[in-house]
């Protein structure tokens, strides 16, 4: 059987008057109204819903290791941002206690690195398995 794209059979006919049918010259629709670029529509939506700030805070996941240093990054893994809270999995309860005492300093360092809206709080939780930390860091369970 012949390929419809090559023979023209089965392909949609072009709109009357040629062109793509979506817009005319200059980004206007057939009624002459200016069409809003998709980027502007998305930016407006992100601003109205607050999702723009949430997306910008995700940068903290990438900045974590540089903000806390190698020793702490070996026993932690940032997993998500919920609102203004960064959730970090930690190797042991002893580390959770130590990191909780250093929380304000870590927040300052983390927010100093990011250009977006600041992280307001860090929530440390015990990692479900030590393998979670090993897989994310490539190091053996914080001993390396």
CATH number of the domain to which 75 belongs: 3.30.300.180
Amino acid 16: pLDDT: 53
Domain contains 126: yes
Q: What is the pLDDT of residues 1-33, one digit of tens each?
A: 544 444 444 444 555 555 454 555 566 677 778
DSSP-derived letter for residue 18 is S
What's this model's pTM, rounded to 2 decimal places? 0.63
pLDDT-wise least confident of 23-27, 45-49, 52-56: 23-27
Which residues, at least 6 apart from 84, have a Cβ–Cβ distance to it below 8 Å? 57, 117, 118, 119, 120, 121
To which residue do tokens 């002459």 refer?
32
Domain contains 32: no
Domain contains 102: yes
Domain contains 116: yes
Structurally, the chain folds into a number of domains equal to 1
Confidence of residue 66 (pLDDT cuts 50, 70, 90): very high
Domain contains 59: yes
Is residue 57 within 8 A of residue 117, CB to CB? The reply is yes
Residue range(s) defining the domain that contains residue 81: 53-137
- Mean pLDDT (whole number) for 61-67: 92
Domain contains 72: yes
Residues 124, 77: Cα–Cα separation, whole Å = 10
Amino acid 49: pLDDT: 73
Domain contains 79: yes
Domain contains 7: no
């Amino acid at each position: 059987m012949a390929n419809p794209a090559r023979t023209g059979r089965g392909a949609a006919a072009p709109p009357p008057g040629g062109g793509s049918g979506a817009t005319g010259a200059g980004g206007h629709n057939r009624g002459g109204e200016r069409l809003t670029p998709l980027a502007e529509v998305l930016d407006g939506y992100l601003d109205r819903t607050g999702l723009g700030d949430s997306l910008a805070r995700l940068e903290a996941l990438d900045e974590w290791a540089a903000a806390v240093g190698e020793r702490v990054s070996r026993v932690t893994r940032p997993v998500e941002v919920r609102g203004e809270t960064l959730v970090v999995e930690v190797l042991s309860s002893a580390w959770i206690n130590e990191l909780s005492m250093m929380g304000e300093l870590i927040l300052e360092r983390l927010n100093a690195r990011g250009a977006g809206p600041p992280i307001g709080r860090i929530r440390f939780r015990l990692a479900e398995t030590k393998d979670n930390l090993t897989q994310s860091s490539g190091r053996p369970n914080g001993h390396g």
